[in-house]
Amino acid sequence: MFKDSLLCIVSSDTCAAETRSISVNGQTYNCTLMPVDISDKSLCFVDVMVFNSSSYTFPLPNVHVIVLSDELKNGMNYSRGLTNKDGKVCLPVNCQKYARIIVEANNARIPAADLVYQRQFLPPSYLVEHEYFAEVIRFHATWWGTILGKSGPVYRNTEQNMCLQAGGNNNHFLFSYPSFSDVLDTTPNPMESDDPFTQLDAWRYGFFYYEMATCYIKVKVKVNITYI
What region, left, alpha or beta, does residue 96 occupy, with left being phi > 0 and alpha being psi -120 to 50 degrees? Answer: left
Count other C-beta atoms under 10 Å from residue 58's C-beta: 14
11-37: pLDDT as tens digits:
333 345 666 677 766 677 666 665 556
Which residue ranges make up each domain of the chain? 18-176
Q: What Cα–Cα distance (Å) separates residue 60 from each residue in 18, 89, 110, 176, 227?
A: 27, 11, 11, 8, 8
- Note the pLDDT of residue 188: 47
22-36, 58-72, 107-121, 142-156, range with the lowest pLDDT:
22-36
207-220: pLDDT as tens digits:
444 445 555 677 88
d(CA 127, CA 54): 22
Cis check for the bond before 124: say yes or no (omega within 30 of 0): no
Over residues 187-208, the mean pLDDT reads: 47
Flag whether pLDDT at 201 surpasses 70.
Answer: no
d(CA 40, CA 17): 17
Pick 79 or 50 by higher pLDDT: 50
Beta bridge partners of 129: 138
72 contacts 26 by C-beta, under 8 angstroms: no
132-183: pLDDT as tens digits:
888 899 999 999 999 889 999 999 988 989 999 998 999 999 999 887 555 5
Beta-strand ranges (E) seen in the chain are: 18-24, 27-33, 43-51, 64-69, 78-82, 88-94, 98-105, 108-109, 128-131, 136-140, 154-156, 173-176
- Note the pLDDT of residue 221: 81
- Sort strands 18-24 and 27-33 into parallel, antiparallel or unpaired: antiparallel
The angle formed by the CA atoms of residues 39, 62 and 48, to the nearest 5 degrees, is 50
